[in-house]
Amino acid sequence: MFARNATIRGPSPALFTRPSIPSLSRKYHYTRDQVYGFREPVVRSIPDYTPEQLANRANASNLLRFVSYYRSLGHRLASLDPLSLTPSDPSAIYQLDPSRYGLSGDMTFDVNGIVNTGTEGKNVMTLNQIVERLNRTYAGSVGFEFAHLPNVSERRWCNELVETLYADRKVEVDSQKRILHLLSRSEAFDHFMAKRFPQVKRYGLEGAESMMVVMDELFKLSGEANVKDVVIGMPHRGRLNLLTDLLQFSPKALFNKIKGNSEFPEDIPGAGDVLSHIAQSVDLKYPSARDPVHVSLLHNPSHLEAINPVSAGKARAKQFDLLKSITPGGNSTPECDVGDRVLCVQLHGDSAFAGQGVVMETLALSNLPHYTCGGSIHLIVNNQIGYTTQAQNARSTIYSSDVGKIIDAPVIHVNADFPEDVAVATKIAFEYRNKFRKDVIIDLIAYRRMGHNELDEPAFTQPVMYKHIRGRRSVPKLYEEKLVKEGVVTQQEIDEVRNSYTSFLDSQLEASYDFKPEADTLKGKWAGMDIARDTTVPVETGVDVETLKQVGVASVATHGITPHSRLSKFHITPRLAKIEAGTGLDWATCEALAFGSLLLQDYNVRISGQDVGRGTFSQRHAMLVDQTDEHVIIPLNHITESQTGKMEIANSNLSEFAVLGFEVGVSWENPNRLVIWEAQFGDFFNGAQIIIDTFLSSSESKWLRQTGLVMLLPHGYDGAGPEHSSCRIERFLQLTDAKFDYADPTPDNCNMHVVYPTTPAQMFHLLRRQMIRNYRRPLIIAGPKTLLRHPNVVSSLSEMGPGTSFQPVLADAPSPSDAKRVVFLSGKLYYDLVKEREAKGLVNNVALVRLEEIAPFPWNEVKKTLESYPNATEFLWVQEEPQNQGSYTFIAPRLEQLLPEGAKLRYVGRKTLAVPATGIGARYKAEQAGLIAGAFA
């Protein structure tokens, strides 16, 4: 897009180094060869000033101070508001008055080492020339914020880039025409939609058409830089404009949807979604690029910014799928580094960027070793208003982009009325991200011509703003007049562009009457998957016992490091003994056997969350840390020299919303990766409820996007009080579409699995089932706490051997015909009831039936179990959770359909509570004793 004389004159990448920079951040001694998935952020530097430049800077120190202030505060003078409702105030920036530094306009200076002009050596300029160049660079229609960058090399590189590329910018004629066509088509699309579908909320781009320039430039630059994939997370504003133009989404498919038809073929079930959540994947080929770039616009929910961590996770997963095969010795040889071939682009609204906490959480992931995607480009489509909220009520900062400074991201503000400057700003942002592999923000300051949607009346709350908006020409018209005046195009050419595009849309509208949608799902890496029809079909998940032994031994191999003495005594040595015996295997051991066996079958495993390497309860120890130098290894990545499956232990920051969203994105990319998010305690998931509601439970129904993500939520009542007892099973059950009527002949194709396993072997089978099946569904595990080390909670290798599988129901009456009472329950309470039953001598009289899988409800297994107790007359549901929580309200109406005629289900447990559990120790003990006794009363 840029003329040859506008190429970047920054330092050559060959001059970059990776210096050792002191930091308060302590680090493990990771290496990418030993810890799969670890990618430390790149630190690059450029050579220092030459002796001549340093001397010149000292001699002209007052000029240097003046120039430095211009670089840091020039954006306050820039003309950034296309509406001119917030004009700049030069008098407020007193630091930019040259007289404060003893400088006057007729003074001359050698600017070598002070101002970048694109020429080397001595360069004499008057102060007036210097100020003119600084104004042209820093106080025009683009404002740069680089001064807050802590790395001096980054600041210098950015300053040199903008003082050459931007100050001397010149856009070629072909690029001007390209820009005009994009703007004109966008406006033509909005006018067409307003005429043909006046009652549709389309969230048009009018006022911010320059967004199309940003996206087009990013796609072109990506192709030129050999980027293979661009992943986009985007809200509603301008989405249809982007889809139907650059992303080549079929307008007839869009019009078919607007008419109320399904976006899915008739034979595929699905609830569908609204227009502004539609997605698209397309290969785009630009003449200046060697290969096409694949662009994926992800489906999004209406919760603003929720898509952004998802897009970052998908981008990282795409990058890791580009790694070459694992070489002998277990070392990975990357085809490229993170960010080389995949770019994440996140779009935002101005009020959402400033107001939604997930933005900060996602930014906080950007440079973490197991979450970086090599730098995202953030585009704020800044309408200067949030729904109807003025900026003064939407943020506490000058700019909506200021939250990005928490990660020291450079910010480029640009007036959307100047699309050529928008293109240059985009190139600067792209080049920075490509050089430093860090996030960068483009703040595209625009307006919206209509209200929040096209059916709103914005003048109710912003009368002055909208009086101004309705009295001004559009961005496309302004640029059109500029190019006509310059002789770049004729009015006839522009009219032809608009008329031709409108005619095309008319033809697509006509074709939409006969349009038949196709399923855009299960392609590429997902081609081997299928659409689930019945989620209750059992799957054999057992593994050869010798293989299990091999995995078990490898899971605690130290590979020469010095583990903690307590780990050697209480973790490593006991596990080896139990593996040898084949019995007494605890929870963490069976979990490791599941992971390792999947790795040997070429699946990858990623477990993410707070302290997952060790485990909240110090039970997992999937990563071992050398006690002498904190060197880290992941033993399961070294089971055999030839294994290709790798395990990534991603100890996260203290985030739930962004991290869970990130893992959803990872799970969307490839079905052959077991993705687990573990909460530190089960109730901590509620910080990520938006991700659960809008992605996890509903993405397949809304968008035909499968995810096999596992949520591992420690759950169980042990006197820990209101916040550390419950993972709120009831919430997840309410989100399932599990079959309600036993008489319903259709298969139970439940959208999620909600389970509460009570044995280590059951956990083993659940984790393996996630990958062995030919479809993916979320798995919600109410995980153990006290059961992790309970002496009776053990399994044997034979329970995980060939022919074995997960059992949705476990029943244990020694003499079924003698059982008079059948107690149904889930979870750890079983072991308390077993103890009480034995103490009361009721082993043959009371049957304990564990529902290990709650949703989908195990109809057939429960029915067969009930039939095995022909003399039972009492049927109970016993739970630790209060009556208004836990599984009772889900279980009761289903279970009662299977009871013998006339039988009723009796509830035993805590009464309704406003909290999951009491925080008063004495009351908790009394409640627990009462419900245990009630099961045998």
**pLDDT score of 327 more than 80:** no
CA gap 138, 159 in Å, rounded? 10
User: What does the longest C-alpha to C-alpha distance in the chain come to?
Assistant: 108
Pairing of strands 108-110, 124-126: antiparallel
Query: Cβ neighbours of residue 835 under 8 Å, at least 6 residues apart?
Result: none
Q: Are 697 and 777 in contact (CB under 8 A)?
A: no
Residue 313: CB atoms within 10 Å: 32
Residue 513: CB atoms within 10 Å: 10
Q: Are 852 and 755 in contact (CB under 8 A)?
A: yes
Query: What's this model's pTM, rounded to 2 decimal places?
Result: 0.94
Q: What is the pLDDT of residue 11?
A: 38
CA gap 179, 480 in Å, rounded? 10
**pLDDT score of 798 more than 60:** yes
Most confident of 109-123, 390-404, 594-608: 594-608
**pLDDT score of 22 more than 50:** no
| CA triple 35-40-44, angle to 5 deg | 150
**Where does the pLDDT of residue 34 fall: very low under 50, low under 70, confident under 90, or very high at 90 and above?**
low
Q: In what order do the strands lie in the sheet with 440-445?
A: 142-145, 411-415, 440-445, 376-382, 342-349, 229-233, 293-297, 280-284
| CA triple 388-394-398, angle to 5 deg | 130
Least confident piece of the model among 24-33, 768-777, 805-814: 24-33
Average pLDDT of 459-478? 89
Pairing of strands 229-233, 647-651: unpaired
CA gap 554, 549 in Å, rounded? 9
Q: Are 306 and 348 in contact (CB under 8 A)?
A: no
CA gap 797, 553 in Å, rounded? 13
Q: Which amino acid is at 320?
A: F
Average pLDDT of 666-670? 97
Q: Are 788 and 841 in contact (CB under 8 A)?
A: no
Cis previous bond, 198, omega within 30: no
Place of tokens 């059951």: 762
Burial class (CB in 10 A: 0-12, 13-18, 19+), 935: buried
Average pLDDT of 773-781? 97
**Do 545-715+756-800 and 809-936 fold alike per CATH?**
yes
Most confident of 164-173, 336-345, 525-534, 886-895: 886-895
Q: What is the pLDDT of residue 888?
A: 98
Q: What is the pLDDT of residue 8?
A: 36
Least confident piece of the model among 32-41, 442-451, 512-521: 32-41
Q: What is the pLDDT of residue 728?
A: 96
Buried b / exposed e across 194-229, counting CB within 10 Å, b at 16+?
Answer: eeebeebbbbbbbbbbbbbbbbbbbbbbbbebebbb
Average pLDDT of 327-341? 61
CA gap 696, 689 in Å, rounded? 10
Q: What is the pLDDT of residue 86?
A: 81
**Domain boundaries of the chain, sorted by first residue:** 51-148, 173-517, 545-715+756-800, 809-936
Query: Cβ neighbours of residue 395 under 8 Å, at least 6 residues apart?
Result: 351, 354, 355, 402
CA gap 395, 378 in Å, rounded? 18
**pLDDT score of 21 more than 60:** no
CA gap 243, 48 in Å, rounded? 46
- State the DSSP code for 302: S
Q: Are 383 and 207 in contact (CB under 8 A)?
A: yes
CATH class given for the domain over 545-715+756-800: alpha beta
Just give the CATH number of 809-936: 3.40.50.11610
Q: Which amino acid is at 636?
A: L
Least confident piece of the model among 3-12, 208-217, 439-448, 757-766: 3-12
Dihedral (CA of 690, 691, 692, 696) sign: positive
Q: What is the pLDDT of residue 28?
A: 65
Q: What is the pLDDT of residue 120?
A: 83
Q: What is the pLDDT of residue 441?
A: 98
Q: Are 576 and 652 in contact (CB under 8 A)?
A: no
Task: Name the token pair of 409.
Answer: 């991201």
Which helix (H) or strand (E) element contains residue 132? helix 127-138
Task: Name the token pair of 736.
Answer: 């399932």
Q: What does the pLDDT look like over 240-261, one tens digit per residue? A: 999 999 999 999 999 999 999 9
Q: What is the pLDDT of residue 335?
A: 57
Q: Are 687 and 336 in contact (CB under 8 A)?
A: no
Just give the CATH number of 173-517: 3.40.50.970
Instruction: Give the HSE-up count for residue 407: Cα atoms under 13 Å, Cβ half-sphere.
Output: 24
Average pLDDT of 74-81? 92
Task: Name the token pair of 165.
Answer: 């590329």
Q: What is the pLDDT of residue 33?
A: 56
User: Where in 772-827 does DSSP place strands (E)?
Assistant: 779-783, 809-811, 821-825
| CA triple 783-785-790, angle to 5 deg | 115
Q: Are 710 and 829 in contact (CB under 8 A)?
A: no
Pairing of strands 142-145, 411-415: antiparallel
Considering the chain, what percentage of its residues have pLDDT values greater than 70? 94
Q: Are 65 and 73 in contact (CB under 8 A)?
A: no
Cis previous bond, 538, omega within 30: no
Best CA proximity match to 187, nearest among 466, 450, 415, 476: 476
CA 389 and chain centroid, separation: 27
Q: Are 449 and 481 in contact (CB under 8 A)?
A: no
Q: What does the pLDDT look like over 373-411, one tens digit per residue? A: 999 999 999 988 888 887 777 888 989 999 999 999 999
Least confident piece of the model among 6-20, 654-668, 671-685: 6-20
Best CA proximity match to 160, nearest among 131, 196, 119: 119
Average pLDDT of 302-331? 79
CA 67 and chain centroid, separation: 40
Average pLDDT of 581-599? 98
Q: What is the pLDDT of residue 365?
A: 96
CA gap 602, 639 in Å, rounded? 12
Q: Are 918 and 924 in contact (CB under 8 A)?
A: yes
Q: What is the pLDDT of residue 749?
A: 95
**pLDDT score of 319 more than 80:** yes
**Where does the pLDDT of residue 1 fall: very low under 50, low under 70, confident under 90, or very high at 90 and above?**
very low
CA gap 918, 582 in Å, rounded? 41
**Where does the pLDDT of residue 26 fall: very low under 50, low under 70, confident under 90, or very high at 90 and above?**
low
Q: What is the pLDDT of residue 813?
A: 73
Tally the residues of the chain: 937
Considering the chain, what percentage of its residues have pLDDT values greater than 90? 81
Radius of gyration of the chain (CA): 31
